[in-house]
Chains A and B, each alone.
Chain A
Amino acid sequence: QKEVEQNSGPLSVPEGAIASLNCTYSDRGSQSFFWYRQYSGKSPELIMFIYSNGDKEDGRFTAQLNKASQYVSLLIRDSQPSDSATYLCAVNNAGNMLTFGGGTRLMVKP
Chain B
Amino acid sequence: DTEVTQTPKHLVMGMTNKKSLKCEQHMGHRAMYWYKQKAKKPPELMFVYSYEKLSINESVPSRFSPECPNSSLLNLHLHALQPEDSALYLCASSQPSTGRIAEAFFGQGTRLTVV
Interface of A with B (CB < 8 Å)? 31-32, 34, 36, 42-46, 49, 51, 88, 90, 92, 95-103
Contact = CB atoms under 8 A, between A and B. Distances in A.
Interface in B29-82: 31, 33, 41-45, 48, 50, 55-56
A103 B106 CA distance: 16
A44 B43 contact: yes
Nearest to A32: B100
A44 B106 contact: yes
A46 B103 contact: yes
Given A44-B90, A102-B41, A103-B42, A51 B100 contact: yes
Interface residues on B, range: 20 to 34
Nearest to B111: A41
B43 A100 contact: yes
Contacts of B106: 36, 43-46
Contacts of B56: 95-97
Nearest to B104: A98
Given A46-B104, A95-B48, 8 more contacts: A46-B106, A51-B100, A95-B50, A95-B96, A96-B55, A96-B94, A98-B45, A98-B101
